[in-house]
Structure 1
């Protein structure tokens, strides 16, 4: 994998423990991504619930977080842990979100340049 992919968001704009939505291009396809910051680490997944293929946000870029710190799908209530994106409750239990490789470079969250298409 090579650094220097397209910037998605400024690292400082992503609140600690918070979520953001960003658009990324994979070939000719634009995909919505969920970004989550945990300290100095940012993780990203496709913004698609494995249960029904719908976006997880309740409004563009607005995500639900449970009291237990899980990402919750606004459509059907599936709950995902925030390390691997595994569904731990709800209709897609045992499935997981599709992870996308990102890195923090020069204060920006960027796609890893050679990340495979999801």
Structure 2
């Protein structure tokens, strides 16, 4: 695996919760939601497919409960492990990015 810099430490994310991580890019960067379930991590663009707004209710704070992430604006719900739309005003799921957990750090491959 060729990794350059970790997004965060797995321990930075409370188990069953999520944090926001800023990713730099040549086009100005973007924000990811990184969610934790045990020793696994899942990452999605911080953008609701319903209205294009961030899913957090306050910067970097997300509504995560029982394996579901809820958009704070309109209540759409998404599966933590797949990003699939589970209910509410969404026609599609979240845009996922693969992440790897290596030695306690979360990386984009």
TM-score (norm 1): 0.84
Instruction: Name the SS of the counterpart of 2:29 in structure 1.
Output: strand
- The equivalent of 1:99 in structure 2 is 96
Show the counterpart of 2:81: 83
- Aligned positions of 1:60-75 closer than 5 A: 60-66=59-65, 68-75=66-73
The structure-2 alpha-carbon separation of the partners of 1:79 and 1:99, relative to structure 1 and needing over 3 Å to count, comes to same
Instruction: Give the RMSD, CA atoms, in angstroms.
Output: 1.4
Report if the CA contact (8 A) 1:4-1:105 is conserved.
no
Residue ranges of structure 1 left out of the alignment (5+ in a row): 113-118
What residue ranges of structure 2 are gaps of 5+ in the alignment? none
Count of residues in correspondence between the two structures: 109
Q: After TM superposition, which residue ranges in structure 1, 4 or more long, deviate above 3 angstroms?
A: none
1:74-118 superposed Cα distances (whole Å, 9 cap, x missing partner): 01110001111011111114x100001111123211111xxxxxx
CA distance in 1, matches of 2:33, 2:39: 16
Aligned to 1:115: none
